[in-house]
Chains A and B, each alone.
Chain A
Amino acid sequence: MKLKQLEGLLGDLEQFSNPKVELEQYPTGPHIASRMLFTAENSYGDITDKVVADFGCGCGTLSAAAALLDAASVIGFDIDPQSLETATLNAEELEVEIDFVQCDITKLELKGQIVNTVVMNPPFGTRKKGADMEFLSAAMKVASDAVYSLHKTSTREHIKRAALRDFNAKSAEVLCELRYDLPKLYKFHKRKEVDIAVDLWRFEPRQN
């Protein structure tokens, strides 16, 4: 599948109808989602024929992208039942098979070595401090091959240090810097739209 085609398909997905600020629910836009998964597959072969988990999947944009790139199995995890309902509808609309599990990522323990790749757009930890790190820590325990994640560029050094020192990463690499468009979703947003710099990371776990 071509990048533009993937981006087009993701652009038709339903997003949060009633976003919950405490969960930092921001939609992952089709531009970022398509580039993230396309890079994971085309540069590293981490998606096609792999088992892919999407942590904090929300409405399932990254899950859908993984399924469209022929992951062997995709599992989306989220705490919020309304998001999972929308994610299920999105999967049906695209005619892809995705499993969804309702759970708290930070308390999740998955057995075995089944998941190859974790992809995620975690909360940035602006509402609940440290939420981004809790997601990264959980992802590094589950993935056997690689973790792809988005984090604010302003936290780059902190992420790198934590990944290598605390989360047992063999490597932690920023693949590219992206602009994340945040539409005005919440009352506390003063401007109509803001655009923040985020890094697309790839982490390799040492061994799980």
Chain B
Amino acid sequence: MRLIVHNMLSCNIRGVVNKFPLRIEPEKVIVKEVDFNPDFLKHMIAKIDWKALVDGARSMGYPELPDHPPTTLESDESFLRKFHHSLLELNLEEGSLVCPETGRKFSVNKGIPNMLLHEDEV
């Protein structure tokens, strides 16, 4: 699971209010290189929940992202590279995603988060 996916997932247990972002408890993180696409990244900045991304990357051992994205991006390749790496290259291979309210753990095995709820949770 990459952090672009983490940025969309929340705990959908019935009645839970504080459901996002899920806290990452990593057991194994791997890095897979993908093509750098600055136009796509610039477009994504406005759509991403920045704090969830920064905290997610930190919990996966990558503390390089600033607390806030820079306001002008035109010449800031070094920032975009870090954003690229955080969003698309860090992979949670094994570990858990933890609901901030209930502490419910969603396991991640072989890179795939299991977001299925139990019958009494829906």
Contacts and interface: CB of A to CB of B under 8 A. Distances in A.
Contacts of A107: 12, 117, 122
A104 interface: yes
Given A104-B116, A109-B12, A112-B47, A99 B1 contact: yes
User: 10 tightest CB-CB pairs across the interface, nearest first?
Assistant: A103-B115, A110-B8, A72-B40, A102-B114, A99-B5, A100-B112, A111-B8, A114-B47, A49-B40, A111-B10
Interface of A: 49, 51, 72-73, 75, 79, 81, 84-85, 88, 97, 99-104, 107-115
B75 interface: no
Contacts of A97: 32, 34, 88
B90 to A, nearest CB: 12
Contacts, number: 74
A43 B113 CA distance: 34
Given A97-B32, A115-B8, A72 B113 contact: no
B110 interface: yes
B39 interface: yes
Contacts of B113: 101-102
Interface-centre pick from A75, A79, A85, A101 (highest chain B CB count, 10 A): A101
Contacts of B32: 97
17 contacts: A49-B37, A81-B112, A81-B114, A88-B111, A97-B32, A99-B2, A99-B4, A108-B115, A110-B8, A111-B8, A111-B9, A112-B7, A112-B49, A113-B47, A114-B8, A114-B47, A114-B48
A111 B49 contact: yes
B79 interface: no
Given A81-B112, A111-B10, 15 more contacts: A81-B114, A84-B112, A88-B111, A97-B88, A99-B5, A100-B111, A101-B1, A101-B112, A104-B116, A107-B117, A111-B7, A111-B8, A112-B8, A114-B4, A114-B7
